[in-house]
Amino acid sequence: MTATITNAKESLSQESELRALRDALHQRLDQLLPAGGERDRVGAAMREGALAPGKRIRPLLLLLAAYDLGCDKNHPGLLDLACAVEMVHAASLMLDDIPCMDNAALRRGRPTIHRQFGQDVAILAAVALLSNAFGVVAGAEGLSDACRAQAVAELSAAVGLQGLVQGQFRDLNEGATARSEEAIADTNDLKTSMLFSATLQIAALAADATPAVRQKLGCFARDLGQAFQLLDDLADGCSGTGKDINKDAGKSTLVALLGAEAVRSRLHEHLHSADQHLSVCQHGLATRRFMHSWFSQQLATFS
Ligand code: GRG
């Protein structure tokens, strides 16, 4: 009974902390984005892409991991670094949705950016958002010049030809044909784990973590990204995700290859492994709690 009450109190305080962090992220993103308006449609599309109600998983992870690693909650650049990661993510979603890629109609419960503003504006807004993100990292306060340069390099590697771009290319070009489990997992790593990895490495840089901790965080990010992508695939046929339903029909995903049950159990294996990596770091209480409660909620809703 006492343990149940303690758990309930912990989860309430976690919920209110997350709500406060989400609000802070929204406010800071709002300040970091151009004003937009009637005559600035690219600026307005950037705002819509980044400010629409996403789950903010990556920037929350960056903040929680940095706190877990001992970073001062008043670190002057931390919120900006988190916003930069969210801008990169939002840019990738805007491009992912355009007709020559996924041709999606709905994102975050709203018409996709190209449906609202046209394809030309969506592409330009994504490029501008990406460029804004790098500018924000380059100007982040409270980091040494060397750490700031490393943060830029982490983000650049996550986006580039050995990161999201490669993952997206493979998904678009190989997704319609049969793929091995390994090929699908590799593509998921590139599409999803790489940005989680950059997110956690940037948190570690802000917190001045040791190379050994950073190495473990890299392993954690890989498992987390795999679990995240498996959940995304499991949720594809469900309503209530804010995205088009059944977008993966005909695509070679692990759900199509192995079935939902096997994917669910693989997802739990990745979460367990992610947990192990964090515990070796002897940090990660808030990060771990966040990861588990988020996946439990999502799995209860979507599978
Ligand atoms: C220019 C950054 C950039 C990338 C170009 C288009 C592209 C290459 C990559 C797209 C990769 C992609 C769509 C990965 C999917 C990752 C994923 C599971 C997204 C869903 O993330 P959520 O659920 O979404 O966190 P919300 O909307 O909640 O933020």
**Segment 86-123, tens digit of pLDDT:** 999 999 999 999 999 999 999 999 999 999 999 999 99
Residue ranges lining ligand 1, Cβ < 6 Å: 54-55, 57, 88-89, 91-92, 95-96, 108, 126, 130, 159, 164-165, 167-168, 191-192, 229, 232
Our mutation pick for probing the ligand 1 site, out of 154, 191, 231, 302, counting the most ligand atoms within 8 A of Cβ, is: 191
Query: Which residue has the least CA distance to atom 8 on ligand 1?
Result: 165
Ligand 1 centroid distance, CA of 175 (Å): 16
Q: Other C-beta atoms within 10 Å of 22: how many?
A: 16
76, two tokens? 């002057």
Atom nearest to 243 CA in ligand 1 = 27
Give every CB contact of residue 211 below 8 A, 6+ residues apart in sequence.
Answer: none
* Choice from 168, 186, 226, 267 to test ligand 1 binding pocket (greatest atom count within 8 A of CB): 168
What residues contact 74, with CB distance under 8 A and at least 6 apart? none
Residue nearest to atom 22 of ligand 1 (CA): 55
47 alpha carbon – ligand 1 mean position (Å): 17
Cα–Cα distance, 65 to 170 (Å, whole number): 30
Q: Is the dihedral of CA 113, 118, 120, 124 positive or negative?
A: negative
Q: One digit per residue, pLDDT tens: the chain, 303 residues?
A: 555 656 666 777 888 999 999 999 999 999 999 998 888 999 999 999 999 999 999 999 999 999 999 999 999 999 999 999 999 999 999 999 999 999 999 999 999 999 999 999 999 999 999 999 999 999 999 999 999 999 999 999 999 999 999 999 999 999 889 999 999 999 999 999 999 999 999 999 999 999 999 999 999 999 999 999 999 999 998 989 999 999 888 889 999 999 999 999 999 999 999 999 998 666 668 999 999 999 999 999 876
Q: What is the pTM of this model?
A: 0.95
Domains in the chain with CATH codes:
12-301 (1.10.600.10)
**Unique residue bearing structure tokens 């989680």:** 196
Q: Tell the residue nearest (CA) to atom 26 of ligand 1.
A: 54
Query: Containing H/E element for 110?
Result: strand 110-111
Determine the pLDDT at residue 282. Answer: 65
- Report the atom number in ligand 1 closest to the C-alpha of 58: 25
CA of 212 to the centre of ligand 1 (A): 28
Ligand 1 centroid from CA 3, angstroms: 38
- Residue 68 and residue 285 in contact, taking contact as beta carbons nearer than 8 Å: yes
CA of 93 relative to ligand 1 center, distance in Å: 5
